[in-house]
Amino acid sequence: MIRYDAGQYDVIVVGAGHAGCEAALAAARMGHSTIMLTMTLDSIAMLPCNPSIGGTGKGHLVKEIDALGGEMGLNIDKTFIQSRMLNTRKGPAVHSLRTQADKTRYHIEMKKTLENQENLDLVEGEVVDIIVENDTVKGVATRTGSVYYGKTVILATGVYLKSKIFMGEVNYESGPNGLFPAMYLSEKLKAVGCNMRRFKTGTPARVNKDTIDFSKMDIQNGDKDIVPFSFMNENLDIEQEPCWLTRTTEETHKIISDNLHRSAMYGGGIESTGPRYCPSIEDKIVRFSDKPSHQIFIEPEGLETKEMYIQGFSTSLPVEIQVKMLRSVIGLENAKIMRPAYAIEYDCIDPTQLKPSLEIKHINNLFSAGQFNGSSGYEEAAAQGLISGINAVLKIRGEEPFILNRSEAYIGVLIDDLVTKGTNEPYRMMTSRAEYRLVLRQDNADLRLTEKGYNIGLVKEERYKRYLLKKDSIENEIKRLKNTNVSPETANTIIERAGSTSIKAGFSLYELLKRPELTYENIKELDKNRPEILLKDAKTQCEVMIKYEGYIEKQLKQIDQFKKLENKKLSEDLDYDKIDGLRIEARQKLNNIKPVSVGQASRISGVSPADISVLLVYLEQKRRKKKVE
C-alpha cells in the first residue's frame, strides 16, 4: 500500500468514544494542534450500552471531569431525559447522581462541540499501524495509507480491537452496534512490546415500547429537584421521562437454567473475563440460585425512538431463547425485540504497563485511556481521556505530569488502581474503592479540583470566577452561622416542630445545624439575616461541612498520614534487585510496576508492610549518604 504524509499534529487521538472526546478537547483547549481519528464519525460519544451517565461512584467521576474543565457534565446536562440522585437515604459521601440520556442527542451535541473546537480536526479513518522509532512514538497510519505524524499519540480504542460478538452458538467479528471491528492494530501494539489481554462485556436487548405492558410495572420517576452534573449550571427544568421497574419470574429462571449450555459464556465460546459488577442474567441465576426473582429496569433510549433498554438483562444466549426469556418477565409477555442482546470480546492493554500519567512506560509520548486500559463504563473512560489529554500536552511542553492522588479525587483512585494493582476484569468505579470518600464527595468536586484545572489552563475565567464566588460564599456563610445566636425562647418552638430537642441556653445556628434532624431550610425562621442570594450547591456544602465536621477532620488527618508516604518519591531507574531485605516477590513486582512513590509501592499486591519498611530504611540511608557527600 502506498502511504502518504497526511499532516503533522501535536496530539493524535485514536478513537472518538468518551475517552477520545475528552482527550481531544483537553489537548485542543490547552492550545495544541490536535486530530481525532475514528472509524466512523457516527460513533462519536456513542452510548452503545446503557442510556445513562453517572451512577454510584461514576457520578463522582463526571462531577470531577466537569470541575477540571471537561465536557461530559455539560453534554449530559443538555441531553438528559431523567435525573435521580442515588443513595439519598445514606450519608453524603455516597450520594451519586445518575441521569437517563437521550442517546442520539448526546452524540449530536458532543459532535457539535468537537466540530466547533478550535485547534481540533476530526477525521474518519481506521488506524492500522503505530509508528515507533527508538522507543518513541512518531505517528500513526490509517487503512487508506494516510500517515499522521505527531509529538504525542493517545490510544482510546474502546472495545473495537479484534472485537467479536457472541449470541449463543453464533459469533462473528464486529464492533458494538453493528459497527466494524479494528482487526489490525492489536498485532502492531504487540510488535512494539505492549502486553495485551482479552476482556468481555455485554449489553441487553432493546424492546419496542408499544409491546410493553407498563400497567404491571412500578413507575420510577425522576427527582423533582434536579441537580445538574455541571457546576456551570444551577437550575435545570425539563419534563422528565419515566423509567419502570419489573421482575423476573420462576419461568424466566427455568428457561435460562434449561438453556445454560447454549450461553456463549457458559458453553465455552467465551474464554475472556467479564465485569463482575455487571453480570449477565444467566450469571445471576447461577450465582444467586436461592433468589426467586431479580429486578429489571425498563429505560427509554431517547425521545425520538421506541427502543427501551432492559437493564439487568444482559445475556449471551441465542436470540430465540432471549425472546422466551423476555416474554416470561412481568409486563414483557408480548415484547418484541428490536435489537438482541449480545456479549462482546475485545483486546485491551495490561494497565500496569502505564505510568500514573497514563503514558506507556516503554514507549515515550504514547498515552492510552478508557476501556483500552481495562476499565468499563463511559465515565471511567472519560476521566482517563481527560487526564491523558492534559498529560500529552504537558509532555510536549516539558512540564511535570498532572497526577491526582487517591486523597484528591476519584479520578486518582481510578488511575492508581489500574496502574498499581492492574485488573483481571473490566474495572468499574464504586464509592467503596475510595478510602477518603467523605472528603471526596461529588458536591465538593469543584472546590477540590477547579483551581487545579485553572492552573493547567483548561478551566476558563467564567468557570473560575464562579468557583471563587462559591468558595467565598461558603466561607462567609459558615462564619455568619457561627456568629448568629438564638435564644431558647426564640428557637424551641421551631426546633421541636422539626423533631429536635429543645435548648436551655443560647445556641449558634452553626451548633444547631450539627443536629441530624435540623436542616438549613427548616431553621430559616430563626435566621433573619440569611443572605437573599446564596448558590444552591453552596447551601449544600455548608450543611454537609457542619454536620460531618468531626468525621471530616478525622479523615483529613488520615490523608496527612497518607501523603507522607506519597511524598517519599522513588526513582524510575531504581533496581530493586540490589536492595537487601526485599522478598523475591516484592522485587519482581516493584521492578515491573516501577512505583513513583513509597505510597504507591505499598498498594502493590505482593508487597508486604515488611518490604515497605525495608524501602524506607533504604531511602533514609541513601538520604544520609547524600547529605554527607
Q: What would the mean pLDDT of 42-58 be, rounded to a whole number?
A: 96
* Structural domains of the chain ordered from first start: 4-199+350-456 (3.50.50.60), 206-345 (2.40.30.260), 461-552 (1.10.10.1800), 568-628 (1.10.150.570)
Q: Give the pLDDT confidence of 485-499 residue by residue, as tens digits.
A: 998 888 888 888 888
Q: What is the pLDDT of residue 272?
A: 72
Encode pLDDT of 184-201 as tens digits: 999 999 999 999 999 999
pLDDT per position as a tens digit, 580-593? 999 999 999 999 99
Q: How confident is the model at residue 595 (pLDDT cuts 50, 70, 90)?
A: very high
Q: What is the pLDDT of residues 284-339, one digit of tens each?
A: 888 888 899 999 999 999 999 999 999 999 999 999 999 999 999 999 999 999 99
Mean per-residue pLDDT, 48-61: 96
- pLDDT beyond 90 at 374: yes
Task: Provide the CA 39 distance to its chain's centre, in angstroms.
Answer: 23
Per-residue pLDDT tens over the stretch 156-175: 999 999 999 999 999 999 99
For the cut 80, the answer to whether the pLDDT of residue 536 exceeds it is no
Beta strands in 32-145 (DSSP E): 34-38, 52-54, 80-86, 96-101, 120-124, 127-133, 136-142
Q: Average model confidence (pLDDT) for the chain?
A: 94
CA 315, CA 296: separation in Å to the nearest integer? 13
Burial of 568 (0-12, 13-18, 19+ CB in 10 A): middle
pLDDT of residue 222: 97
Residue 529 confidence (pLDDT): 81
Q: Which pLDDT score, from 0 to 100, does residue 27 have?
A: 98
The set of cell numbers assigned to 73 is: 457534565
Q: Across the strands, what pairs with 133?
A: 136
Lowest mean pLDDT among 70-84, 242-256, 272-286: 272-286
pLDDT at residue 25, rounded to an integer: 98
Whole-angstrom distance, CA of residue 62 vs CA of residue 54: 7
Strand-strand pairing, 342-349 and 146-155: unpaired
Q: How many CB atoms lie within 10 A of CB 564?
A: 10
Secondary structure (3-state) at 170: strand
For residue 244, what are the β-bridge partners?
A: 219, 298
One-letter amino acid identity for 510? Y
Predicted pLDDT of residue 446: 97
Are the beta carbons of 148 and 140 closer than 8 angstroms? yes
Where does the pLDDT of residue 530 fall: very low under 50, low under 70, confident under 90, or very high at 90 and above? confident
Cell of 215: 400497567
Q: Which has more confidence, 535 or 433?
A: 433
The pLDDT of residue 537 is 77
> Other CB atoms closer than 10 Å to residue 577's CB: what's the count?
11
Is residue 21 within 8 A of residue 385, CB to CB? The reply is yes
**pLDDT band for position 409 (cuts 50, 70, 90):** very high
**Which of 239-248, 531-540, 617-626 shows the lowest per-residue confidence on average (mean pLDDT)?**
531-540
Q: What is the mean pLDDT of residues 526-538?
A: 77
Higher per-residue confidence, 353 vs 277: 353
Round to whole Å and give the CA distance between 611 and 116: 52
Give percent above pLDDT 90 in the chain.
84
| Nearest-angstrom CA–CA distance, 234 and 206 | 34
Kindly give the residue spans of alpha helices, DSSP state H, lying in 342-460.
378-397, 410-416, 445-456
pLDDT in tens, 343-360: 999 999 999 999 999 999
pLDDT > 90? residue 628: no
